[in-house]
Amino acid sequence: MQTNNFKHYLHLHFLVFIAGFTAILGELITISSIPLVWHRMLIASVLTFIYLIIKKNNIKIDLKTLLKFSLPGLIIALHWITFFEAIEQSNISITLAMFSTAAFFTSFIEPFFFKRKIIFYEIIMGLLVIIGVYMITMAEISYLNGIILGILSALFSSLFSVFNGKLVKKYSPIIISFYEFLTGLIFITIYLIIFNSFDSVFLNSLISLDYLYLFILGSICTAYAFIAAVGLMKFLSPFTVVLTYNLEPVYGIILALILFPDKENMSTMFYLGASLILVTIIINSLFKNKYS
Among 288, 292, 272, CA closest to 122:
288
The predicted-structure confidence for 171-218, as pLDDT tens digits, reads as follows: 998 999 999 999 999 999 999 999 888 776 765 556 678 889 999 999
The pTM of the full predicted model, rounded to 2 decimals, is: 0.92
User: Residue 46: CB partners within 8 Å, gap ≥ 6?
Assistant: none
Phi, psi of 203, deg, nearest 5: -65, -20
**Predicted local distance difference test score (pLDDT) of residue 3:** 52
Contact assessment for residue 111 and residue 263, using Cβ atoms and an 8 Å cutoff? no
pLDDT given for residue 1 in this prediction? 41
Q: Domain tally for the chain?
A: 1
| Domain interval for residue 66 | 2-291
Contact (CB, 8 A) for 79 and 26? no
Question: What element of type H or E holds 234?
Answer: none
Instruction: Mark the ranges of the chain whose per-residue pLDDT is less than 70.
Output: 1-4, 200, 202-207, 238-239, 291-292
CA distances to 25, 123, 181 from 127, rounded to whole Å, are: 32, 6, 34
Using only C-alpha atoms, the chain has a radius of gyration, in whole angstroms, of 19
